[in-house]
Amino acid sequence: MRTTIFVISLFLISKVWGQNDHDQRPVIEHSDTSHVHSIKEFFSEGELSGHFRHYFMSTLNEGALSDYYANAVGGFIKYESSRWNGFKVGVGGNFIYNLYSSNLMERDELSHRTARFERQLFDITDPENHHDLDRLEELYINYRRKRISLTLGKQSIYSPLVNPQDGRMKPYVLDGLWVDYAPAEGWL
């Protein structure tokens, strides 16, 4: 019994550690950009990042309702230039593969509905596409000066109200202008 409780506790703790850790508000860093003197350095001294992801989702309905499952694997690659005269550009995209899944377009005989959540792992505008799904996710320009940062374009936003929705292979991204202002200490 103790062993079972211990194993379950470890499993639950690992799930908590795996959650995203986002600050309430991003800190406007004050980095020195005087080392970038040309367009070549602007792009060559940038940063490449990415991640890979595997996601299995299953809906097990009670009774005669249909059950659905989907298994996806994919990744995200992002490039962010270095900062030059306050400007920085970013571009990122993802790719997703459907490893295997039930027929997500098959309608349940009782409810006459298809798989709702499993379809969202893939392209909901083209649910029959089960092959390589590539998409440009982020394309933005950022300008930062002193206590203000402006980002214009297609971007991921982390805030208490807007987040990338961790329950999908493709996060939510928003188009528009994001302004972040860090007031001086003791302004209130």
The CATH number of residue 112's host domain is 2.40.160.10
Is there a domain that residue 69 lies in?
yes
> pLDDT digits over 59-80, tens only?
888 888 888 888 889 999 999 9
Most confident of 8-12, 110-114, 148-152, 154-158: 148-152
Strand pairing partners for 181? 148
Confidence of residue 25 (pLDDT cuts 50, 70, 90): very low
CA 27, 31, 36, 37 torsion-angle sign: positive
Is there a domain that residue 27 lies in?
no
The total number of structural domains that make up the chain: 1
Range of the domain at 62: 32-181
Q: Which pTM was predicted?
A: 0.71
Is there a domain that residue 80 lies in?
yes
- Residue 157: its pLDDT value, please? 84
Is there a domain that residue 113 lies in?
yes
